[in-house]
Amino acid sequence: MLQTMSNFPRYAIYYLPPPGSVLDRFGAALLGYDVFSGADVPFPPEMLEAVPDWAEVTTDPRKYGFHATLKAPTALAPGLTEAELLWACATFAETPRAIPVITPAVQAIGSFIALMPAAASAELEQLAADCVRSFDSFRAPLSAEDRARRKPAQLTPRQVQYLDQWGYPYVMEEFRFHMTLTGSLPPDRQQELLGRLREQFAALDLQTLAIDRIAVCRQDSAGERFRSIGQFQLRPML
Render pLDDT for 41-86 as a digit per residue (tens, 0 to 9). 999 999 999 999 999 999 999 999 999 999 999 999 999 999 999 9
Please give the residue that has the higher pLDDT: either 232 or 150. 232
Task: Give the integer Cα–Cα distance in Å for 2 and 146.
Answer: 10
- Number of residues written out for the chain: 238
Closest CA to 116 of 28, 201, 22, 190: 201
Residue 163 has pLDDT above 70, yes or no: yes
What residues does each domain of the chain span? 10-233
Residue 5 has pLDDT above 90, yes or no: no
Model pTM score:
0.94
Q: What average pLDDT does this structure show over 95-101?
A: 97
Q: What average pLDDT does this structure show over 5-30?
A: 93
Task: Give the integer Cα–Cα distance in Å for 103 and 187.
Answer: 25
Render pLDDT for 178-218 as a digit per residue (tens, 0 to 9). 999 999 999 999 999 999 999 999 999 999 999 999 999 99
Write the CATH number of the domain with boundaries 10-233: 3.90.1140.10
| pLDDT at residue 120, rounded to an integer | 94
Name the DSSP class of 78: T
Task: Express as a percent the part of the chain with pLDDT over 70.
Answer: 97
- pLDDT band (50, 70, 90) for residue 143: confident
Residue 3 has pLDDT above 70, yes or no: no
| pLDDT at residue 1, rounded to an integer | 34
Render pLDDT for 111-140 as a digit per residue (tens, 0 to 9). 999 999 999 999 999 999 999 999 999 999
| pLDDT at residue 4, rounded to an integer | 36
